Each structure stands twice: as structure tokens, then as C-alpha cells.
Structure 1
């Protein structure tokens, strides 16, 4: 992994992102701040000093201007952005429109968002990488960088897919309403069971086929089916010490703003850091 940009705003919350960034095998870390003065530079230098180990280069960069624009400009020359997002504010209301939101929506560089619960809350050390898939090529766009991270950190790689059983039942019921010659209602449960088994079989086969080439490359890769709608199934399965890697767009097609998407909801609600890989991002360098 090459250059990693870590935007910091001077708060202890944002510094938590540096804790996770420092664990990544990056050749270069850039501690980045917009605004500030000599005192802020001194503070960043004090954070950078203990990270300068081995061959790793740690730089401090301070710019003036709009925070979002400056971060995006700097990110264009980096392989990864790591920054904190607060999730919910003290009143429990969702924070939207923050710099982290705007950067993750507009950046062409993969962005790792670290949710911070408080100034003193520690960021758990990741123990596995979780990649949510939905069967689309777009969702699979997260696999190259996920596989690279899993190999170089190293961590086991878990590929998961949600199967919405309630959605299957609703589809069957809707078809019943449209078919004049529909089977009697008493056969609905049998039809549902057949549909459930077929859906789970196809999903399992898809995960196995996706995992096979990764395993052949020596990856420690696992697969798992989740039950429920994608958002709720993922939120129930993801642990604080997971690292989630996913594309910011999937079956719902291209949307510049992630509002309402699975990725956006995971960023806001998940206790684990989420790495968003934008569409058209080239495979991560080895």
C-alpha cells in the first residue's frame, strides 16, 4: 500500500482515525489539516514522530481553503483516505453534511470511515475483513482492495450475502394476486420453502464461486449467508473489530449521493470502520 491520507481537524475524535491508519502497512502517511497555525503544525508533528519507524515516511501537510475541496485535491494523489465520522451527535440525531460525508460521496479514492463514539473510546484492532456482496459486478468492485488488505495486514477475508426471506414471501404473495389460476393458498408455504431453498442455494453457490479464485491465490477466505434485508442483516452480523469493505453503489445503480443506500446506512449505524470503494476505482496495487 502506498500513500494514505489522514485528514485531521484538531479534535481528539478525528485523531482516532490515525490510530487505525497507523496499523495499515502504508509506505507513506500524510497527516493533513486545513487551516490552523504553527501550533497545529507542532501538534501534528508530535503525532507523526512516533509513527516514523522503519522505511515508513510520515509527512505533515497544512493547507488553507475549503476543507472538503482541499481533502479531495490531496486525495487524488493517494491510494486511500482514512478519516473519522462521528456517527450520531449527543442528542442521538444523525450527522449529515459533515466533511467526512462530502468527501466519501465525491472522492474517487477509496475512503475508510472510522466511526468514533467519544474522545476516549478506543478503536478496536480489526480481526477480519468483511465484504458484503449482492451478486452484482459493482459490489464485486470492492474485492481487489479487500483482498490486498487481507493479504498485507494480514487478516481473514469474509464474503457475505444477505437473503431476504420476507422478501421472498412477499413476492410469492404478490404473484398469487396477479395469477388467476394460482394454486390454493394452502400450497403457499410449500412454494415459499422451495423458493427459499433455491434462493439460498444460488446465493451459496455464488459466494463459493467468488471465493474460489481468492483461495487459489492463498487467501484465507470464508463465506456466509445472512438472513434479512441487507442493511439489518449486515448490522446484526458486523462486529466492532471487523473492517467492512464495500462499494458505495450496488444494485440501486449510480447515485452520486449515498443517502438511503446500504453503504450510507452502514457508515452511520455500524460500530465497525467501513471502507467505501467508489465505482470505477481500479484494482488496488499489490
Structure 2
């Protein structure tokens, strides 16, 4: 596949909250690529179309040095999700960037039917920023913020081929932005011989061995991923954490991070839309999340 961010679509519903996706879209845009603001008119009668060109103009002022073609369109469709997917296909988009809140169809975009349509039925990676009600400007103000500059990528892996689909995306973005990657895995097991726990000694020994084996396996696949990144000239570090994946990943995130997650995997990533892992990570609101498809494809050189 091409380097991600060469053709970005940003859904916009007229609200300043949905406009919070603009900064992330600029930060993920590939120099020389294109970004399109798309308003899906569901027949609600809102006069949003006249806002689009001024917003596009504000974004153009922050285009990367390599250039970025920015435009805006209105698509008429009775269903927001289907309309966004249709426009993404028509435009040849390789990434959809959106806010988790907004008016109309976008109000449920992170975890409801709209995103279910976009991710389950579409074939596009989706980047999600959790909009903060207490920290947003006008739509024009959001368009004038400039690009989101991420300083680190967090990449959760579980050893499966499907979760590894996110690795080439992380390598491409990290190389492009000259940022390091933190490779993360979680072990959702507790050693049964921990102080204060009462249990059958034989069962405890078996579970402790399983715990040790699982951590060793996690260390192994993270080391493999680290070597892959090193071959691409990307610096990385690894961390294996105990506990549930969602809270553990969210707890690592800091302002300026970008979390990249695959849509399927062994430890809950297969429920990336409706399940607890992505819900907790995205709703933590600390860092945006880029959700990639589970089909592993190599990123072609840019």
C-alpha cells in the first residue's frame, strides 16, 4: 500500500467539535498529498456548505513544506456513514480522520453505527481524536491551529499477524516525522503465588509458568518488531505490562503521542470499535488513535 496520509478525508458536520480533527489530519498528511473536508448532507437543512471553503483556506495556511492540496465538498446522502464511505471510495482516500463527537451522524462517530459502517464495511484506516468539550475553539479557530505534532508513537502488539498490520504504518510515520516508537504488549495474568493469595499449590505453579511463558513470548515478538523498525532506521523501545490492555495502554499515553492499533488481535483488539480496549484508549482523551485494517500490507517507498 502507499504511504498513509497521501489522500485524507475529514468529515465535518458544522460543529467546532468535529473540526478538532483538522489539526490531526494536517499532522498525518503526507507532503505532496491531498486533504478533503467532506460534509455529508443528510437533508437536515443546515447551511454548512458556505463554511467549507473558508475552512479549507485556513488549513492551506498550515500545509506542509512539501505542499498539500486542500479542498472541500458536500455529499448528499441519507446516511452519514454510507455517505462518508462513498466519498472515501470516490476520492481514493487512504485515511479518514475524525472527531469522536459532533452533531447529527458524527455524534456517534467513535463507537456507534457511523464508525461501525466506516471500519467494518470500509477498507480505510481511521484516525480518531477525542474532542474535549471544555477545550475547543470555533471551527475556524480549530482550522487555524496548525498540524498536530506527535513526538512518539505507541504501538500495541499481541504477537498475531493481524496486530502486526500496524507495524509498517508505524514505521512509515515514525520515519517521516523522525519520532521513536514505543512497542507495547500486555499480559492479563496475575502470578497466583503473589503474597496474600490462597490457592492450590499445583495450580499456582502451573499458572505461574503460564505467566512466565506469556511474558517471554511477548518479549520475543516485541524484540522482533524492534529489529524491523531498526532496519527502517526507526528508534524504538519495548515494554511488557501486566493487566488489562485498555487501561494499560491509556496509562502510557502522554500529550504528543499517537497510538496506532490494528482492528483485530488476540487480546481484545478484535473489538476495536465496540469493545473495551479502544473505547478506554480513545476515551482517555490523552492522545489520538489511528486504527488500521487487519490486512497486513507493505508500505511502498514514498
Alignment of 1:165 with 2:189, yes or no, is yes
Alignment of 1:234 with 2:257, yes or no, is no
The Cα shift of 1:207 comes to 0.8
The Cα shift of 1:263 comes to 3.2
Q: State the distance in 2 between where 1:277 and 1:73 align.
A: 19
CA deviations 1:106-161 (Å, max 9, x no partner) are 32100001111216348974221111111111100111111111111232111100
Alignment of 1:7 with 2:11, yes or no, is yes
Q: State the distance in 2 between where 1:40 and 1:284 align.
A: 36
Alignment-derived partner of residue 196 in structure 2:
none
Alignment-derived partner of residue 164 in structure 2:
140
The Cα shift of 1:18 comes to 0.5
Alignment-derived partner of residue 72 in structure 1:
85
The more displaced of 265-274 and 68-77 is 265-274
CA deviations 1:151-194 (Å, max 9, x no partner) are 1123211110001232x539xxxxxxxxxxxxx94566666555
Alignment-derived partner of residue 59 in structure 1:
71
Count matched residues: 267
1:129–1:158: 8 Å Cα contact kept in structure 2? yes
The Cα shift of 1:198 comes to 3.6
Q: State the distance in 2 between where 1:254 and 1:225 align.
A: 16
Question: So what's the TM-score if we normalise by structure 2?
Answer: 0.76
Question: So what's the TM-score if we normalise by structure 1?
Answer: 0.80
Secondary structure of the structure 1 residue equivalent to 2:169: helix
Residues 194, 37 of structure 1: alpha-carbon distance in 2 compared, 3 angstrom cutoff: closer
1:131–1:158: 8 Å Cα contact kept in structure 2? yes
Alignment-derived partner of residue 29 in structure 2:
25
Q: State the distance in 1 between where 2:268 and 2:46 align.
A: 45
Alignment RMSD: 3.3
Q: State the distance in 2 between where 1:155 and 1:114 align.
A: 19
Alignment-derived partner of residue 141 in structure 2:
none
Alignment-derived partner of residue 181 in structure 1:
none
Q: State the distance in 2 between where 1:240 and 1:105 align.
A: 29
Secondary structure of the structure 2 residue equivalent to 1:12: coil
2:263–2:272: 8 Å Cα contact kept in structure 1? no
Q: State the distance in 2 between where 1:71 and 1:39 align.
A: 18
Task: Say which one has the larger Rg.
Answer: 1
Q: Which runs of 5+ in 2 are unaligned?
A: 103-108, 138-144, 194-198
